[in-house]
Amino acid sequence: MDSGTLSVAVLISGTGSNLKAIIDAQKSGRLNVDIARVISNKADAGGLVFAREAGIPCSVIPSADAPSREAHDAGISRCLDETDPDLVVLAGYMRILGGEMVARFRGKIINLHPSLLPKYPGLDTYRKALDAGDAEHGSSMHFVTEGLDDGPLISQAKIPVLPGDDPESLARRLGPVEHRLVVATVELFTRRKVEMSPDGVWVDGELSAGPMMLNEDDQLV
Ligand code: GRF
């Protein structure tokens, strides 16, 4: 690992297809990252298989067994302290992080969310987009703050809503686009200085006017 390699921890709860996209991009040489640890709050998360196959250290910190959110967060914090990553990526991590945890790692945690935020924080984003009659749906990556899916936006990718779409078809089409978005966004952190401030997101010392958009060449512009 050279000194320019970004150390990344990835938090998951389920299938881990976005984790897999990061692993594949690291293996192919696109991403100069060390995936230092994968943390799951579920012992049966499918993504743990991808991590173990890739030889990545894994920690399971079951949320179901924790007496409180604070206690669970404390377990995650300890694990992150030991790992000491440059960046924490929430990729399908289906727990809300408490304020103390967010404050402790402020500016270092990013989340992937399947909507064009600020539209549709929370769950059922596909249904909400369809019910609203939106012409486009998409995914966002943002810095994690105390609010739910509320932190400064880093990047987005859009797909059209097609006639006859239902939540399942939208989710199916968005999946591969999210994978490209998560890789491009982590890549951004490997190449440029991306910082969160109360004004928004700064990239190489310039305040972004809005989220960077994923183009067809998998670049954020
Ligand atoms: C993704 O759609 C992500 O946007 C959302 O949860 C899903 C996780 O998928 N937060 P996976 O576990 O990475 O396959």
Domains annotated on the chain, with CATH: 6-213 (3.40.50.170)
Q: Is the pLDDT of residue 1 over 90?
A: no
Q: Which residues are catalytic?
A: 113
Instruction: Tell me phi and psi for residue 51, to 5 degrees.
Output: -65, -45
What would the pLDDT profile of 130-184 be if each residue is shown by its tens digit?
A: 999 999 999 999 999 998 989 999 999 999 999 999 999 999 999 999 999 999 9
Q: What proportion of the chain, given as a percentage, has pLDDT over 70?
A: 99
18 within ligand 1 shell (Cβ under 6 A):
yes
* For ligand 1, atom 14: residue with the closest CA: 17
| CA 90 / ligand 1 centre spacing (Å) | 9
The per-residue pLDDT of the chain, averaged, comes to 96
Q: Which residues pair with 203 in a beta bridge?
A: 194, 206
pLDDT interval class at 65 (50, 70, 90) = confident
Tokens of 211: 């989220």
* For ligand 1, atom 5: residue with the closest CA: 92
Rounded to whole angstroms, the Cα distance separating 217 from 180 reads: 10
149 within ligand 1 shell (Cβ under 6 A):
no
What would the pLDDT profile of 2-18 be if each residue is shown by its tens digit?
A: 668 999 999 999 999 99
Is the peptide bond between 118 and the residue preceding it cis, with omega within 30 degrees of 0?
yes
Atom of ligand 1 nearest to the CA of 18: 13
Cβ–Cβ under 8 Å, residues 110 and 190 = no
Tokens of 148: 């739910």
